[in-house]
Amino acid sequence: MALTFEKTDIKDVYIITPKVFGDERGYFMETYSAKDFEAEGLHYNFVQDNQSSSTKGVLRGLHFQKTFPQAKLVRVLKGEVYDVAVDLRKDSATYGKYVGVLLSGENKKQLLIPKGFAHGFLVVSDTAEFAYKCDDFYHPEDEGGLPFDDSSINIKWPEIDVPYKLSDKDQKHLPLSESKIVFELKGEQ
């Protein structure tokens, strides 16, 4: 297998590490293999790839789509981010809990986030290039979010030497206790 799958404290969320083959010329790695995912019992049909570039202190999230939830496979091409997934699945034993992991161009780790989660990341390096696959298309009218500093989730974001930079939209989300967002996913991962 080209990929190693590590379970996290939240069911269905995985840290994925590729095998990297390198020499004096550089390196090669497979970043996604449907065959490896199937061997792990993970069935995804990714339909869209996205990429962003951000500077240190940019905090994007916590985002989700309300009626068209997306599973995501996220990674960093260059730089370093602290990536977070918050469980919003109905009847989940970990509802409102999060997984946070440092992703970087150097460690080449990826985070697999199933449907029913809010997602966000903080850039901790000077710049970062972030890429991800989604298993549903983006629907701008369907956007939702939670505050990055929602006290009921209590995410331990890394301390950095610049203030956080958020979009206007990301400064207006209602906390989980008020939005009461819950994803009821029937037979989906």
Provide the annotated active-site residues: 63, 132
- For 87-123, b where at least 16 C-beta lie within 10 A, e where not — what string? bbbeebebbeebbbbebbeeebbbbbbbbbbbbbbbb
- Cα distance between the two ends of the chain: 22
Q: DSSP E strands: which ranges in 3-109?
A: 3-7, 14-18, 21-23, 26-28, 48-55, 59-65, 72-78, 80-87, 98-104
- Which residues, at least 6 apart from 41, have a Cβ–Cβ distance to it below 8 Å? none
Phi, psi of 100, rounded to the nearest 5 degrees: -130, 135
Residues 90, 152 contacting (CB under 8 angstroms): no
- Close Cβ partners of 71 (under 8 Å, ≥ 6 residues apart): 44, 112, 113, 114, 115, 134, 135, 136, 189
